Amino acid sequence: MQVASKVMPQAPSGEGARAEFYSRLDRENLTALWEVLHALVPPLPTPGCVPALWKYADIRPFIMESGSLITAAEAVRRVLILENPGLRGQSCITRSLYCGLQLILPGEVAPSHRHTQSALRFIVEGSGAYTAVDGERTTMRPGDFIITPSWTWHDHGNPGNEPVVWMDGLDIQILQLFGAQFMETFAEDEQPVTRNEGASYSSYGNNLVPIGPLPTSKTSPIFNYPYERSRETLAALARNEPVDTCHGWKMQFINPLTGGFAMPTIGAFIQLLPAAFQSSPYRSTDGTIYSVAEGEGVVKIGKEKFRFSPRDTFVVPSWQPVQFESTGETVLFSYSDRPAQVALGLLREQRG
Ligand code: GTQ
């Protein structure tokens, strides 16, 4: 009986032949998937970003020093970018999001421009500066969450008498990924004021909306979500509702016209942790940036522990468990790319 000889698959002729093949591929702008497949399609998130905390006491002197080296007018935006230690040189705090601390000194104006990147502001220190969006100015106070929607003219000014510092959260890297960035400079430094302060809040911020027609923008029509209101809501929630073991009492800022996220690419949240609270571990695929509004404690991110105090910023990378241990009552503001992940069906989370 004849048996067909079995031909075993064989590597052509070892490493040398492959290397030589790869160098010929390279000249054609080709590359072999099998050399990168495991990195391209990993079993778990590889966010690049690492856990990190910036102590405000350590970085405030640099922010103030920047104020003596360059004016807001010259800088356009005088901001120190918080760069993730795992992603240096990329101007980002997670792969998808940007975070900076912006300073405006009394008497300064940061000139008007518009861009397709959406921005949020979370006020960290000082009062009396304003930001203007589409003809309305809003005064900034610590803890306020303020939105600059995509493609709206905006300028910042400080007619007050103290430096004002806020956290800027932008979707810069998301726009970069999609190649959808556009920017224009306004003809004058300051846009004309055409609406009274508080106009957007009175129309949309009191559980009432005009009978129509309503704006169709994907961003909330509320311009400033004042800390006073967020804080009293958290306090009432703590009196009325049981505490969540992972999050304390955590709320999402909403677009009152949809009940959904306040911005299409960035989700913003505020949470209260009771004194002496130890949260259960929680992880999610939306790497999240936190600003400490009130309180002190320890945050465990993955295997690392950081002490936090008011005005500190920290970042929890995708899929790293986060756990809080508060000392006194603590309020944390946070933002992430959650709306984008939800829209694309990508968000995963795990409690405990
Ligand atoms: O305030 O318009 O931190 O355009 C980065 C880019 C702030 C702003 C930033 C910007 C702005």
User: Beta-strand (E) ranges in 140-209?
Assistant: 145-148, 154-157, 164-170, 183-185
Q: 22 in a domain, yes or no?
A: no
Nearest-angstrom CA–CA distance, 289 and 335 = 5
Question: Ligand 1 pocket: which of 91, 92, 168, 185 to mutate (most atoms <8 Å of CB)?
Answer: 168
- Tell how far the Cα of 121 is from the centroid of ligand 1, in angstroms: 10
Domain that holds residue 311: 52-351
Q: Is 79 in the pocket of ligand 1 (CB under 6 A)?
A: yes
Q: 30 in a domain, yes or no?
A: no
Nearest-angstrom CA–CA distance, 57 and 78 = 19
Q: 1 in a domain, yes or no?
A: no
| pLDDT at 122 (0 to 100) | 99
- Tell how far the Cα of 23 is from the centroid of ligand 1, in angstroms: 43
Nearest-angstrom CA–CA distance, 336 and 286 = 6
Q: 26 in a domain, yes or no?
A: no
Q: 18 in a domain, yes or no?
A: no
Q: How many domains does the chain have?
A: 1
| pLDDT at 229 (0 to 100) | 98
Q: 185 in a domain, yes or no?
A: yes
Question: Ligand 1 pocket: which of 63, 78, 79 to mutate (most atoms <8 Å of CB)?
Answer: 79
| pLDDT at 47 (0 to 100) | 87
Digitized pLDDT (tens) for each residue of the chain, 352 residues in all = 455 555 556 555 678 999 999 999 999 999 999 999 999 999 999 989 999 999 999 999 999 999 999 999 999 999 999 999 999 999 999 999 999 999 999 999 999 999 999 999 999 999 999 999 999 999 999 999 999 999 999 999 999 999 999 999 999 999 999 999 999 999 999 999 999 999 999 999 999 999 999 999 999 999 999 999 999 999 999 999 999 999 999 999 999 999 999 999 999 999 999 999 999 999 999 999 999 999 999 999 999 999 999 999 999 999 999 999 999 999 999 999 999 999 999 999 999 9
Q: Is 102 in the pocket of ligand 1 (CB under 6 A)?
A: yes
Q: Whose CA is nearest to atom 1 of ligand 1?
A: 77
What is the pTM (predicted TM-score) of this model?
0.95
Nearest-angstrom CA–CA distance, 171 and 266 = 7
Q: 43 in a domain, yes or no?
A: no
- Tell how far the Cα of 241 is from the centroid of ligand 1, in angstroms: 38
Nearest-angstrom CA–CA distance, 131 and 293 = 20
168 CA closest ligand 1 atom index: 3
| pLDDT at 14 (0 to 100) | 77
- Residues 6+ positions from 207 with CB-CB distance below 8 Å: 256
- Tell how far the Cα of 151 is from the centroid of ligand 1, in angstroms: 12
Q: 32 in a domain, yes or no?
A: no
Q: Is 272 in the pocket of ligand 1 (CB under 6 A)?
A: no
- Tell how far the Cα of 51 is from the centroid of ligand 1, in angstroms: 24
Question: Which residue in 350, 349, 308, 344 sits closest to 174, CA to CA?
Answer: 344
CATH (domain of 105)? 2.60.120.10
| pLDDT at 9 (0 to 100) | 60
Question: Ligand 1 pocket: which of 170, 175, 182 to mutate (most atoms <8 Å of CB)?
Answer: 170
| 3-state secondary structure at position 348 | coil
| pLDDT at 11 (0 to 100) | 58
154 CA closest ligand 1 atom index: 2
Q: Is 170 in the pocket of ligand 1 (CB under 6 A)?
A: yes
102 CA closest ligand 1 atom index: 3
| pLDDT at 2 (0 to 100) | 54
Q: Whose CA is nearest to atom 10 of ligand 1?
A: 77
Q: Is 168 in the pocket of ligand 1 (CB under 6 A)?
A: yes
Other residues' Cβ atoms within 10 Å of the Cβ of residue 162? 13
Nearest-angstrom CA–CA distance, 60 and 235 = 29
- Tell how far the Cα of 228 is from the centroid of ligand 1, in angstroms: 25
81 CA closest ligand 1 atom index: 3
Other residues' Cβ atoms within 10 Å of the Cβ of residue 28? 7
Question: Which residue in 97, 244, 232 sits closest to 174, CA to CA?
Answer: 97
